[in-house]
Amino acid sequence: MTLRLLLLLGLIVPAVASVPCFAAADRVALVIGNAKYPDADAPLKEPVNDARDLADELKRDGFNVDVLENAGGEAMRHALDRLYGKIKPGTVALVFFSGYGIQSNRQSYLIPVDAQIWQEADVRRDGFSLETVLGEINGRGAGVKIALIDASRRNPYERRFRTASAGLAPVIAPTGTLVMYSAALSAVVSDSGRDHSLFVQELLKEIRVPDLSAEETLNHTRVGVTRASRNEQVPWISSSLAEDFTFVTGPAGNRPAGGAAETNVTPPPAPTPSPTQVVVAPPAPPPAPPMPSPAPSPVQKADTPPPPAPAPTATPAPVPPAASNSPSPEPNVAPTSIQVALADDPTIKSLSAKIAANPDDVSALYRRGQVYASKGAYDLAIKDFDDTIRINPKDVEALNNRCWARTVIGELQTALRDCNEALRLRPNFVDALDSRGLLNLKSGANKNAIADFDAALKINPRLTSSLYGRGLARQRSGAAQEGALDIANAKAMDPNVVQEFESYGVR
């Protein structure tokens, strides 16, 4: 499964009414808007526009701003080095990042557009840890550090590995830091398709209000986003600021370094109190009312009652012949024209060149199989996983991915062997438990599906596919209310999960 996480990093400098205003040279900012990721289906619409508008506003507020658009790893590294070089004791620093972010090992990573992410270790290699960035800024002597993080989007790497949680992780930040995420911890927000994000729209409104402390500015932003989204998007704030700072002091015309502020801007009513350490987001809205159980599928009618639920590492009963012969989506055998289109994909081109030079390049074969699977070319993916397993029969990742791909196209008997072998080699392998749960769900072995999804959720409670799959299996087993709750919670975390399961032939 893939991960993405979008991160918005902001280090913001305010001036306090009781303290002299910081000079323009003492305010520095790095603003990054990453929209064009080759692994995504389409470019994001919001990040570049948001970065440009926020950069313009920060310049009017006296910041020395460096702006990057669609930055790769080297460009981001050089920009961070430039930022670090500008910092001296007492400097106020701001870093804004809009794009994809990934949570790994309870840390949040900013992802450059050229990141090559195939497994979780690649996140730490190609991504930029928010905690590391804040720590470096603090080590250079910055007085105020504010991170604004707008990276809670569902990322395109999710199907490649499924051990990382959705959304972003809490930050362990140095003293004097104010951090804001555009959504709650571990939550994801669907890209709106608009030119600007709701988060940045509300943030810009509040930054322009004179004499608000930075904490008040961000709290008002949180209220505005929560109300405008009808509680569907609730930003998260953490603060360890010891003093108040403001973006704009006095009348609107008193901005540092020139540039008039907008006038007659009023804060939202009933602002929330300023936090001392962490402002916990309000509780999510109650789950949707129970959904009616779907009618039994033809597979269920023909299937015999499933055997008792296995232990997490146990092998389920073989798939009944009636289930394996049941109607399933046609294998995605790509016509020549589609194969040509896939061959023109830059990532596939690069991997195919490596395989042509060395047909036993197991890493390139496995990665190309993942790309094919992510694009729905399951027959081509399975061929690459076949070759990967031929070279290394104990490759549990390839076994799991082949199990999942075979399950999607309805090859349930052979898929079951792959998942069982992956779990024999690596007991409690969460990805294989999730894949086998999907297999059992498709075969109508609902009790076995629930057992596999239960085991996966004990390891990763926010594994959306297992939560949604368990909901369907519970409904089909007669536990309508419990199933509806699982489904509602899964849809709250990932609104696209229904469409994802429909693409697997599960409704």
* pLDDT confidence band for 191 (50 / 70 / 90): low
- Strands across the sheet with 144-150, in order? 64-69, 27-33, 92-98, 144-150, 177-181, 236-239, 278-279
Residue 364, domain member (yes or no): yes
* φ, ψ (nearest 5 deg) of residue 214: -60, -40
Quickly list H helices, 410-479. Answer: 412-425, 430-443, 446-459, 464-476
150/139 Cα distance (integer angstroms): 24
Pairing of strands 236-239, 177-181: antiparallel
What does the pLDDT look like over 415-457, one tens digit per residue? 999 999 999 999 988 889 999 999 999 999 999 999 999 999 9
Has residue 13 been placed in a domain? no
Helix (H, G, I), strand (E, B) or coil at 130: helix
Q: Is 208 within the bounds of a domain? A: yes
Asked which of 252, 279, 306 is the last residue of a domain, the reply is 279
Q: Does some domain include residue 399?
A: yes
Q: Specify the CATH number for the domain of residue 487.
A: 1.25.40.10
* One domain, residues 171 and 304: no
Whether residue 150 sits in one domain with residue 34: yes
- Does residue 390 sit in the same domain as residue 331? yes
7 located within any domain: no
Exposed (0-12), middle (13-18) or buried (19+): which is 337, by Cβ within 10 Å?
exposed
Residues 462, 364, single domain; the answer is: yes
Is pLDDT at 279 greater than 70 in this prediction?
no
Q: Tell me: do 238 and 375 sit in the same domain.
A: no
Statement to judge: residues 320 and 450 lie in one domain: yes
- Residue 76, domain member (yes or no): yes
- The CATH number for 35's domain is 3.40.50.1460
Last residue of a domain, one of 245, 279, 313: 279
Neighbours of 467 (CB within 10 A): 25
User: Which of 220, 249, 279 is the last residue before a domain boundary?
Assistant: 279
Residue 239 lies in a domain: yes
434 and 376 within one domain: yes
Per-residue pLDDT at 159: 62
Give every strand in the sheet of 101-104, ordered side by side. 101-104, 107-110, 128-129
Mean pLDDT for 276-303 is: 37
pLDDT classification of 276: cutoffs 50, 70, 90: very low
- Structural domains in the chain (count): 2
Same domain membership, residue 363 and residue 461: yes
| 167-183 exposure pattern, b = at least 16 Cβ within 10 A, e = fewer | bbbbbebeebbbbbbbb
Please tell me whether residues 215 and 348 are part of one structural domain: no
Under 8 Å between Cβ of 43 and 187? no
Q: Are residues 265 and 319 in the same domain?
A: no
3-state SS class at 369: helix
Q: CA-to-CA distance for 438 and 441, rounded, in angstroms? A: 5
Whether residues 325 and 462 fall in one domain: yes
Is 292 a member of any domain?
A: no
First-to-last alpha carbon distance for the chain, in angstroms, is: 19
Q: Give tens-digit pLDDT for 240-249.
A: 887 778 888 6
| Same domain as 413, residue 325 | yes
Domain interval for residue 160 = 24-279
Q: Please count the residues of the chain.
A: 507
Is the per-residue pLDDT at 28 higher than 90? yes
How many alpha carbons fall within 13 Å on the CB side of residue 374? Answer: 24
- Beta strands (DSSP E) in 11-106 are 27-33, 64-69, 92-98, 101-104
How distant, in Å, are the alpha carbons of 183, 337, 354 from that of 341?
Answer: 36, 6, 19
